[in-house]
């Protein structure tokens, strides 16, 4: 039986900029950094990894990584304050989550979400 996802690894053409992007959102570096070919960030109990790719290596839309955060609206404000432009504003979804989307500098789509509390 599968228990959980341990890590997601994303390719980057510019490790320095990618590390700056994720650090500005509050991700903590566990290994690597701006000059490293591989960087690992803490993402709750799991990890978000970045791996340097050759400039000629290209990818198209591949999907989305979804991170649960304590407060979606506060995290959205953090992204705006850091100078990023999320592709959506926070909203409540019919599947029971509040979320917004943000694309990183390499075109990877990220979603920051929180389950909605059931009404009593």
Q: How confident is the model at residue 21 (pLDDT cuts 50, 70, 90)?
A: very high
> How many CB atoms within 10 Å of residue 74?
10
Q: What fold, for 7-54+63-115?
A: 2,3-Dihydroxybiphenyl 1,2-Dioxygenase; domain 1 (3.10.180)
Give a three-class secondary structure readout of 62-111: CCEEEEECCCHHHHHHHHHHCCCCCCCCCEECCCCEEEEEEECCCCCEEE
What digits encode the pLDDT tens for the residues 29-79? 999 999 999 999 999 999 999 999 988 888 777 778 999 999 999 999 999
**What span, in angstroms and rounded, lies between the C-alpha atoms of 76 and 16?**
23
Q: How confident is the model at residue 3 (pLDDT cuts 50, 70, 90)?
A: low
Residue 2 has a pLDDT of: 53
Close Cβ partners of 70 (under 8 Å, ≥ 6 residues apart): 114
Domain ranges of the chain: 7-54+63-115
């Amino acid at each position: 039986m599968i228990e959980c996802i341990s890590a997601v690894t994303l390719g980057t053409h510019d490790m320095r900029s990618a590390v700056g992007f994720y650090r500005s959102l509050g991700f903590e570096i566990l290994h690597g950094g701006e000059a490293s070919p591989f960087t690992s960030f803490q993402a709750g109990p799991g990890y978000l990894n970045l791996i340097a790719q050759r400039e000629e290596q290209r990818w198209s839309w591949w999907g989305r990584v979804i991170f649960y955060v304590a407060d979606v609206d506060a995290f959205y404000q953090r992204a705006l304050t850091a100078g990023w432009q999320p592709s959506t504003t926070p909203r409540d979804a019919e599947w029971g989550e509040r979320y917004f989307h943000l694309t990183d500098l390499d075109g990877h789509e990220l979603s920051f979400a929180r389950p909605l509390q059931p009404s009593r």
